[in-house]
Structure 1
């Protein structure tokens, strides 16, 4: 048995039933996924949602032994063993969390009943190597930006494709709040060994269960083109490029996001013998 990392991840749990593990991206915390998914599961009872903070983010520590993505993955594996055990579960990963989720599917192909990837990196993990569109704001609101505190306005404007009071609220509460808690020293250390030893997609086999890959047409962080190359590894995947949406597509196209996630849950339920 692999040696445990001895890192205890802080997490928030909601609901009861089939487990759903939700992994956030690089530097936010569990609130990103909580904000993503709770509106979806409000329409679908019977699921136990697990929202951990990854090591070095939120309230989860990253001691020196967490020195790269392989250690991050091992900590998540330990979390699964402790909170889910051998029970089948659904897996959702956003951005860097999607990178780890793909590795988990490779490690536990029979335990994961379905996979959803939200703005995942494609073939290249390093942002400088990704094929991404030019920065574009499609729904600007200069008056709104002028009304915000300068630090919030700057960070929001750096990523927002849709500038509305609601997208500001969700960015502040679900994303920015976590960014301020990140252990920057630990994350710099981990970033030195950011790529997994068995780097997807080279290490991917085929995952033949219901999957969903969501990308933003204006996502200048992860892009939307390279993810298409993942499809041979996920023969049961729905692949969607959402217009008027950047790297935080769940807050910029919430109705479409919810609809696609609900349809994914329906497909998983139909094949796992559960009612949707």
Structure 2
């Protein structure tokens, strides 16, 4: 289905009725990766309407020329949140660049975000990024993109990469991503930290964004669970699905108890 939000017509996949849970994927992929990684944890929870959009310039969502920066994308995503929630509080999750947008949305509309979950978030102040290191499997398995993304080089991880990551490459508007990448840093938003139930998950071996910035960010949130997961890189949602499922379940329980 498609949802009009500001100047963007988002391509969106939905599952189930109930409270909206908006899940944002990372860069240079599409909704299929987020759906494959988050849906196993969310589908068994009653009363959740899981919403997986393609972000602008990826998947089947075009990036109009009027989008010139990440701030412009953020405004479109805020409008998308309003459109799919009808103005009521919704849950928000994201991986990588999607987590960057998610935390910015929560900062700008804290009353609209009932809970925030960030996985391997791309955040300001990225530092202490470790060198890429393979911890299991064959170092020559798969293509260069696979080998640079995963730290577990197993047949199972390669199958997930080939099903949920690699096919999206053909649908990426590279010119649009390069245009947006020239102004990728979001304008800082003044105000208190997001005070709702939060989850921050990082891979100890994440050679894309590291984990130091995520740890610092989680420390600024008054109601955050923080997990730094060993034997996981930037592809943590694929490499440690059971851990992620447990952490998301814990987060959902806190959202329910909070009454937000």
Cα deviation digits, residues 56-91 of structure 1 (max 9, x gap): 011000111011101101111221222212111100
Shift of 1:230: 0.9
**TM-score w.r.t. structure 1 length?**
0.88
Structure 1: gaps spanning 5 or more residues: 146-151
2:164 corresponds, among 156, 174, 181, to 174
Runs of 4+ in 1 over 3 A off after TM superposition: none
| Distance of aligned partners of 1:193 and 1:142 in 2 relative to their CA distance in 1, 3 Å threshold | closer
Describe the shift of the 1:204–1:130 C-alpha distance in structure 2 as closer, same or farther (beyond 3 A): farther
Q: Give yes or no for contact 1:123–1:229 (8 Å, CA) kept in 2.
A: no
For 1:244 and 1:61, the matched residues in 2 are separated by: 35
The 5-angstrom pairing of residues 221-236 of structure 1 reads: 221-236=208-223
> Cα deviations across residues 154-203 of structure 1 (Å, max 9, x unaligned)?
2211111111121111112222222331100001111111111226xxx4
> Which TM-score applies when normalising by structure 2?
0.93
Q: Is the partner of 1:49 in helix, strand or coil?
A: strand
1:148 aligns to what? none
Q: What is the CA deviation profile of residues 235-276 of structure 1, one whole-angstrom value per residue up to 9, with x for unaligned ones?
A: 110111100000010111111111111111111111127xxx
Q: Secondary structure at the match of 1:180?
A: helix
CA distance in 1 between partners of 2:6 and 2:258 (Å): 34
Aligned pairs, number: 256
Q: Which has the higher strand share?
A: 2
2:119 paired with 1:132: no
Q: Does 1:156 align with 2:156?
A: no
Structure-2 residue corresponding to 1:251: 238
Matched, 1:35 2:41: no
Unaligned runs of 5+ residues in structure 2 are: none
Map Cα deviations across residues 69-117 of structure 1 (whole Å, 9 max, x no partner): 0110111122122221211110001111111111111121111111000
1:204, CA displacement in angstroms? 5.5
CA contact (8 A) 1:132 1:222 kept: yes
* Alpha-carbon distance in structure 2 between the residues aligned to 1:172 and 1:45: 30
CA contact (8 A) 1:122 1:229 kept: no
Over the aligned positions, Cα root-mean-square deviation in angstroms equals 1.6
Match of 2:41, SS state, is helix
SS of aligned partner of 2:88: coil
